[in-house]
Chains A and B, each alone.
Chain A
Amino acid sequence: MAAVSIRNVTKSFGEVKVIHGISMEITDGEFVVMVGPSGCGKSTLLRMVAGLESITSGEIAIEGKVVNNLEPKDRDIAMVFQNYALYPHMSVHDNMAYGLKIRGLSKAEIDTRVNRAADILELSKLLKRRPRELSGGQRQRVAMGRAIVREPKVFLFDEPLSNLDAKLRVQMREELQALHRRLATTTLYVTHDQVEAMTLAHRMLVMSIGKTEQIGAPLEVYTKPATTFVAGFIGSPPMNLIPGRLQADGASVAADGDTRLKLPQAYPQLGGRSVLLGVRPEHLEICAPGEALLVPKVDFVELLGSDSLVYGHIGQDKASPRVAARLHASVRPQDGQLPLRFAPENLHFFDPDTGKRIEP
């Protein structure tokens, strides 16, 4: 177990810069999820921690020791890969034992460790099988076992669940949590799946095109997204973002020409300022027309069973700002109009130019 420091790390492939200076201090035993869309550089960052990619500039330190120039095997880390990367010609036992054998551990010690890991992961009966005779979930567990037996200071996971079906993914998520509780090893976990990030992380690092968007605990990221990117990426459907300008008194917003939106409370300190208003679909609720803060015209409704997603727009035509609301399934919009309100604590302001959060 160990702390990991990522200090102003960048990565370029030739002329192309893919990581633009990322810093994060990961404490001992922490479970950190790096999340972002495809191509945001999260896997590259993980591979730099692993030692599979060189570091263009900056530093990565594990337990206080800079590892920039150390081979992966000398960093005392273990990694689980997206497509498992099991050695196809070796049995489950040999897959897990291979790294230990190279390290020159005694056969007795290897067997003890492999059996212990197999026990934890319920692989004991499968030790003689080849990877091709295993199901996807079992292969994933072998890949995890291969990491566990090494008893490393840090675990690295590169989208480990993305090849599994939805049901198995939920189950493996639970197992991963249980495993982390049991071993309490510092873990870096890469995923593009916001649910995995929300459920597994102590803290998450949200990335977009090689930059840090936000570092924080899942709930903090959800309730106080630092940028419009985070607001759109975490949460489904994404947060509604409505461009507009606050009136001088800070009590209402002029959006898209004539359309006026009332705010649940006045923000005189933001008076006259251009902003992006952010409200999550699940924080909108239907109300009496007199109490409504915004009244979108309904374009279409998706019935999900327990609730429905209502999509509409505010303003004159369909090009005007779009709004999504997650409402109870029993709600039926009348006359194509939907009076909606939201609580002040659920309102977010962002700077329209920088995309950064504004704390009123």
Chain B
Amino acid sequence: MTPRRWKAGATHAALIALVLVVTFPVAYAVIVSTLSLQQAYAYPPRLVPGTELWHNVVEAWNRIHMGRLFFVTSVISVGAAVVKIILSLMAAFAYTHFSFRGRALLFPMTMITQMLPLPVRILPTYQLMADFHWINSYSALMFPFFASTTGILLFRQFFLTVPRDLPDAARMDGAGPVRYFFDILVPISRTNIAALFVIEFIFMWSQYLWPLIVTNTEEMRVVQIGLKMLIATDQISPSWNVIMAGTIVAMLPPLVVLLAFRKSFAEGIAMQTAK
């Protein structure tokens, strides 16, 4: 082999190894979800899939009422992502297309909110929710997530690449700012919107700590808390096969969303560099 092919081969080997390391936990979870309880506890660990997948899935589904968990989590994930996108679009529009008093100060302040980690905000936010009498409601689950620095920054960067002539042309055509926003700017942001939707949906689907704090009934629990209950409700030793089956099922909605928006998502991310 030529030195050049050696180099390419080595690169590939390293990348393949990396992929294996990254995917192993998921692959192992899938395998365990197909095993019986005895097989799951076997030593050395079994790496060949079994036949108990369906049984385990049904068991997990019924034990923690996954139907209800999916419903609640879907509502808050879609709801928060959609509201977040709308607010981010509007804020980015304001920051890029209008000059107003205090703009130079407001934008950095928006960015600073990004620097406060969630644990710092939990107490005051909880207090706020309590004052609103929103504890154990959809509002409380979603509200703290509506404002998104990531979203504002993403759209702001995209809007800055839009040539100045475009809003001018729309103005000549008689479109005011609002019309320009809905007729031109939002449609051309389509791929960025898709990218942000995917990111935010997955982010919301993975929420654990905040929902745990702000809800207190079975009805309002989300998927991640449900998975934790799957472990806790097992009295003797955790039935890892059932837990893994539940985990795999819980991963499906984000996966579906990602695949559905895959093309736009990739374009949206790529556009940031290609423009």
Contact = CB atoms under 8 A, between A and B. Distances in A.
Contacts of B171: 51-52, 71-73
Contact of A102 (B179, B187, B188, B190): B179
A50 B172 contact: yes
Contacts, number: 58
B165 A78 contact: no
B169 interface: yes
Interface stretch (A83-91, A176-184, A314-322): A83-91
Interface string B145-164: 00000000000000000010
Given A83-B163, A85-B163, A102 B169 contact: no
A103 interface: yes
B175 interface: yes
Contacts of B190: 89
B163 A99 contact: no
Given A85-B165, A89-B187, A89-B188, A79 B172 contact: yes
Nearest to A97: B173
Q: Chain B interface: which size bin? A: 10 to 19
B184 interface: yes
A300 interface: no
Among A78, A79, A103, find the residue whose CB has the most chain B CB atoms closer than 10 A.
A79
B188 A73 contact: no
Contact of B188 (A51, A78, A85, A88): A88
Contacts of B234: none
B187 A85 contact: no
A310 interface: no
A196 to B, nearest CB: 19
Contacts of A81: 165, 168-169
A281 B18 CA distance: 70
Interface string B190-216: 100000000000000000000000000
A3 interface: no
B174 interface: yes
B160 to A, nearest CB: 16
B165 A82 contact: yes
Contacts of A98: 170, 173, 175, 183
11 contacts: A52-B168, A72-B172, A79-B168, A81-B168, A81-B169, A87-B166, A87-B188, A89-B187, A98-B173, A98-B175, A102-B179
Given A82-B165, A87-B183, 7 more contacts: A50-B168, A72-B172, A73-B172, A81-B169, A85-B163, A85-B166, A89-B190
Interface of A: 47, 50-52, 71-73, 77-79, 81-89, 98-99, 102-103, 146
